Amino acid sequence: MTERIVVVGAALLDGGRLLAARRSAPAELAGRWELPGGKVEPGERPEAALVRELCEELGVDAETVDRVPGSWPLKAPYELQVWTARLRPGSAAPAPLQDHDALRWLGPGEIWDVAWLDQDVPAVRETLAHLTTGAREGGGA
């Protein structure tokens, strides 16, 4: 039996917008959009992995907020889990440092304007449902 390896994705939010990152590698994923993140290392908590990955890939200081319910299968043995996250005060603006060649902040009406990776689509849908519920609970801009 193969143990699943967790890949964490960030629904990085700012002012009601969601950050999408366009893959530059590997070749079969290049040009498609994803929620930024990466693999959880052995002994690492998923939340810590997400903060580390956002620093490495985007050069930001971020913090996780809530786990988005669910998990989504990727190429075996990987499984995607998503957390909402926000930039910490004083963080640099996100920049595509590793594995990405473009970033885009998407407002509510723009979420489906990019070509998401097939495996990220259900996670993005669940994230949007989670955010809609959270917006009613937390108010906001």
**Total count of residues recorded for the chain:** 141
pLDDT at position 42 is: 95
DSSP state, residue 11: E
Q: CA distances (Å), 72 to each of 18, 31, 47, 69, 108, in order?
A: 19, 21, 17, 10, 22
Domain boundaries, the chain: 5-138
User: Residue 8 is encoded by which pair of tokens?
Assistant: 């964490």
pLDDT at position 1 is: 56
Smallest CA-to-CA distance from 12 within 125, 141, 103 is with 103
User: Following DSSP, what letter does each residue of 55-118 receive, concatenated?
Assistant: HHHH---EEEEEEPS--EE-STTEEEEEEEEEEPTTPPPP---SSEEEEEEE-TTTGGGS-B-G
Q: What share of the chain is helix, strand, coil (3-state, %, to 5)?
A: 25, 35, 40
CATH entry, 5-138, from 3.90.79.10, 3.30.70.600, 2.40.50.140, 3.10.20.30: 3.90.79.10
Judged against a pLDDT cut of 80, whether residue 4 lies above it is answered with: yes
Greater model confidence, 70 or 141: 70
Greater model confidence, 134 or 30: 30
pLDDT at position 134 is: 54
pLDDT tens for each residue of 50-63: 999 999 999 999 99
The answer to whether residues 71 and 79 touch, using CB atoms and an 8 Å cutoff, is yes
- 45-54, 88-97, 123-132: lowest mean pLDDT where? 123-132
Judged against a pLDDT cut of 90, whether residue 45 lies above it is answered with: yes
Judged against a pLDDT cut of 90, whether residue 136 lies above it is answered with: no
pLDDT at position 140 is: 38
pLDDT at position 133 is: 64
pLDDT tens for each residue of 68-90: 999 999 989 999 999 999 999 99
- Note the pTM of the prediction, 2 decimals: 0.89
SS3 3: coil
